[in-house]
Amino acid sequence: MEKSKDALNKALELLSKRWTLRILWELNRETLNFRELSSVAGSVSTSVLSVRLAELRKARLVEHLDGRGYRLTCLGKQLMHAAAPIMEWAVEWHQTCSETASDS
């Protein structure tokens, strides 16, 4: 049980870093080079993007293909597949919260 808790804490620590989920989201769609990823990932600075990509590569969620760019690894794809129900829930939750706020 303790090992599972430690593993979950480490995964959540990595995923909670700013821009990490956005990078994974964009790479879930297609392979992108650094410039393309910087362009589609919003206002992330190139230095932060570089650090996040290094962290994601170290975590074996992203890989770099020489001349082609960055893409999710099998582990990265598994993560995004596992996250899909949470994303669906988040959309429903957000709509519910928005409806409640407009009723006030």
Domain boundaries, the chain: 2-103
Angle between helix 74-103 and 20-29 (nearest 10): 110
Top CATH class, 2-103:
mainly alpha
Give the pLDDT of residue 45: 96
| pTM exceeds cut of 0.95 | no
Would you write out the chain's pLDDT as a tens digit for each of its 104 residues? 788 889 999 999 999 999 999 999 999 999 999 999 999 988 999 999 999 999 999 999 999 999 999 999 999 999 999 999 999 999 999 999 988 777 65
Buried/exposed code over 77-91 (b: 16+ C-beta within 10 A; e: otherwise): eebbeebeeeeeeee
Give the pLDDT of residue 98: 85
The 8-class DSSP code of residue 32 comes to B
Copy the structure tokens of residue 4: 């599972």
CA dihedral 8, 10, 46, 68 (to 10 degrees): -70
Give the pLDDT of residue 103: 65
